[in-house]
Structure 1
């Protein structure tokens, strides 16, 4: 992995953050009754400030695991974990990286989509 390069990226990310502000939990899960912010809410809020400030990002899937787990009713759900590295760049070549881990359980087939190899 490349070493982070100091430069404009820190000021640019700070500018993006000040423009985005708070992303509210404006969606509601009707079944379990909880509020959440959707991924589309985050992408929509970030798009213009990132573009305006000349910041773009790439992602790399570092780890992905999916497997069935039993439910209380005797069925099965898919338990999925993923670790992703995000790298944010700007025009002077400086960048920062961040890693995030996600976890979900689903009784549907959304997670079963084929992934293309990243190598």
Structure 2
């Protein structure tokens, strides 16, 4: 299978691709898809390697940015197969995301997916690559689920039966509204209100 020899030979010839482009909005540096193509194309041709894409999965949804513009957000899972002239091949599967106000969201997702398939398959170095172990992210606690609309109605009816004011009860248990009550406290709240109704 010549594909292994061909890919190893390409990696031997490959040099670093620096992060020479800068994201204007967020200020980080990155390696653009054109940089990757320009560096790899002559080496792919020299070692007789080419790639073919196969879209395995695609999702699309609409999102709105801070300016009110509707954007198409596309996620694709794509399988890239690397071939050489004896028909042998190896494959990798990556995901790409793209967002656009026009018709380019899928194009962007495919470009990102292909770029990272190439970067990771060939382990393309860069002088200023950050290792993931160098970063630590502090994650906020996950918000507890709130009571459902049906549970809110049950609480409201129970308060009415007990002759209790909804706003005053919410203030007594230190919540802004019935809708903000954590789901895990629903049972206790119902028991409390029922006992208050029996005592009235």
Instruction: Name which of 55, 61, 64 aligns with 1:61.
Output: 55
Task: Name the counterpart of 1:86.
Answer: 80
Match status 1:102 vs 2:87: no
CA distance in structure 2 between the partners assigned to 1:25 and 1:40 by the alignment: 12
Alpha-carbon distance in 2 for matches of 1:93, 1:110: 33
Please say if 1:41 is aligned against 2:35: yes
- TM-score, with normalisation over the residues of structure 2? 0.48
Q: Which has the higher helix share?
A: 2
1-side partners of 2:27 and 2:56: how far apart? 32
5+ residue gaps, structure 1, are 1-6, 114-119
Question: How big is the shift at 1:108?
Answer: 4.7
> TM-score, normalization: structure 1?
0.77
Give 1:77 deviation, angstroms.
2.7
Q: Secondary structure at the match of 1:91?
A: coil
Q: CA RMSD in A?
A: 2.0
Structure index of larger Rg: 2
Structure 1 or 2: more strand by fraction: 1
The correspondence for 1:50, drawn from 44, 54, 61, is 44
Which structure carries more relative contact order (alpha carbon 8 Å, separation 6+)?
1
Residues 29-58 of structure 1 show CA distances to partners (whole Å, capped at 9, x for unaligned) of: 122211111111111111001100111121
Per-residue deviation at 1:109?
4.0
